Structure 1
């Protein structure tokens, strides 16, 4: 398996699959259009975010979207994982962990003291994040009206 920044062709594939990634990550609450995805992703890329893609023999397995966050109270910068996605047919093979390890390693090499991410509480990936040492810092709550 290879982990690297995607070429133009892989980037198009990632963008085309991103609506499904958002749908899965929000447990079916959001299904953005490809136009909305491109707008959101372009904004992140313009701010220095980038993808790491997992491939095997030119087959896309999954990706992680990395960037920089800033603590809202201290303004301290931290690594931020915006998205983690493994294609359905490749889930259960440890690729998500490999992608997360690559992301964490990147942030360590860049000298960040902390990595953050957000996830739906019921998302199955939360168990992976906890196994990697992530801890709950905040809880976001909502009330449907």
Structure 2
């Protein structure tokens, strides 16, 4: 088992999975499309972001996207986790937690003091994020005006 930065070829493979990741993570709140899926990580990668992969015997079990963004509310650069995914076969084995902790180490070495992520309502991963010390900062609320 190892966690390391993804190679260029692995990054391309991960980007090819973007639609599956979007469907799985957005809990039905997003109408998945290739365009939307690619918009999540592409800007982060273009700005120096990267993927970390969890592999065993050269088989990728999951990955995490890691980057930095400028937080206009706090006027500081913060780490961001725009994507984390573990293939269903490998879930419930602690892989996501190991990926998160390794991402924290990478970001800390880069001088980042905070990390942020977005999670859709109903996503079971929120429990893991809370276990790792994440807390709610803001809530996006929505009302469908077509039902009035």
TM over 0.5: yes
Q: Determine the structure 2 residue equivalent to 1:92.
A: 92
Equivalences, count: 144
Please list the CA deviations of residues 110-132 of structure 1 after superposition, one character each: whole Å capped at 9, or x if unmatched. Answer: 22221111101211100000000
Whole-angstrom CA distance in 2 between matches of 1:41 and 1:56: 24
**Pair 1:110 & 2:107 matched:** no
Please give the TM-score of this superposition, normalised by the length of structure 1. Answer: 0.91
Q: Determine the structure 2 residue equivalent to 1:142.
A: 142
Q: Determine the structure 1 residue equivalent to 2:120.
A: 120
**Pair 1:62 & 2:62 matched:** yes
Tell me the C-alpha RMSD between the 2 structures.
1.6
Consecutive unaligned residues of structure 2, counting only runs of 5 or more, are none
Q: Determine the structure 2 residue equivalent to 1:76.
A: 76
Please give the TM-score of this superposition, normalised by the length of structure 2. Answer: 0.89
- Give the 3 Å change call, closer, same or farther, for CA 101–37 of structure 1 in structure 2: same
Whole-angstrom CA distance in 2 between matches of 1:113 and 1:138: 19
- Give the 3 Å change call, closer, same or farther, for CA 41–81 of structure 1 in structure 2: closer
Consecutive unaligned residues of structure 1, counting only runs of 5 or more, are none
- Give the 3 Å change call, closer, same or farther, for CA 36–138 of structure 1 in structure 2: closer
**1:6 Cα offset (Å):** 1.4
Q: Determine the structure 1 residue equivalent to 2:44.
A: 44
Moved more, 41-50 or 132-141: 41-50
